[in-house]
Amino acid sequence: MIAYVTGASSGIGRGAAVRLAADGAKVVLLGRDQSRLDKAAAECGPDAVTAAFDVTDASTVDTVLPELLARTGPPGVVVHAAGQTVVGSLDSLTAEQWHRQLDVNLTGIHTLNRHLWPAMLPAGGAIVLVASTASFAAFPQDAAYVASKGAVLALTKAMALDGAPAGIRVNAVCPGFIRTPNLEGYFDAQDDPAAAAAGAAAAAPLGRMGTPADVAAAIAFLASPDARFITGASLLVDGGLMAKVPTA
């Protein structure tokens, strides 16, 4: 099985690539930083393939993806994990910040999907999008991220309907507070980063932040034959965060 993973140089994407490789997949790691991709690929076995580009650069994607697919063959699994957080309320964000957030978290899925989807059509497969608890409930000072992740969850359902006749299953994982460089950047943008991190760790009923491996396990399940009758679904990986009624 061939698995394409975006955002594979760090965080959840890297965790997913490592887990899928451990489960026997030949992993194609996509990200912006070649050196970090190489380090991640070293954990994915000798058959791992890397390609460094920005998912928001449509012209580069249109050049690189057809060549890459011709070399690797069509994927049976695709994980869309590329993402970032631009902190700020809607009124405080510049047009550039707003569009950058949506381009990375949402439009990049479309840009890659125009090549990956046709490659999957003959044999089907599984696609997993990385949404968020922010797909269901908002965080303050995080307007663009919340909007993008809400859209990712809606897109998951639309893609699932379009893929069903061809045997392409499309699901989403919705992580809570997962200890990644992206989350660290969000904490660093707060007035008291240490307090923000401590609050995140205490927020989940399980009493800790999650790890990329926690999310990767859920991704591996949704990508596996064990999930063969699951499509259009969202799986919370949040330590119980969304099950909890806030109390003082």
134, burial (CB in 10 Å: exposed 0-12, middle 13-18, buried 19+) = buried
Q: Which two tokens stand for residue 197?
A: 């991190």
DSSP structure string for 4-55: EESSTTSHHHHHHHHHHHHTT-EEEEEES-HHHHHHHHTTS-TT-EEEE--T
Q: Which two tokens stand for residue 23?
A: 């489960």
Contact indicator for 119, 74 with CB cutoff of 8 Å:
yes
- Among residues 4, 117, 145, 177, the one annotated as catalytic is 145
- Among 65, 56, 64, 30, which Cα is nearest to 44's? 30
Strands 168-175 and 49-52, by their bridges, are unpaired
Residue 145 annotated to the active site? yes
Q: Which residues are catalytic?
A: 145
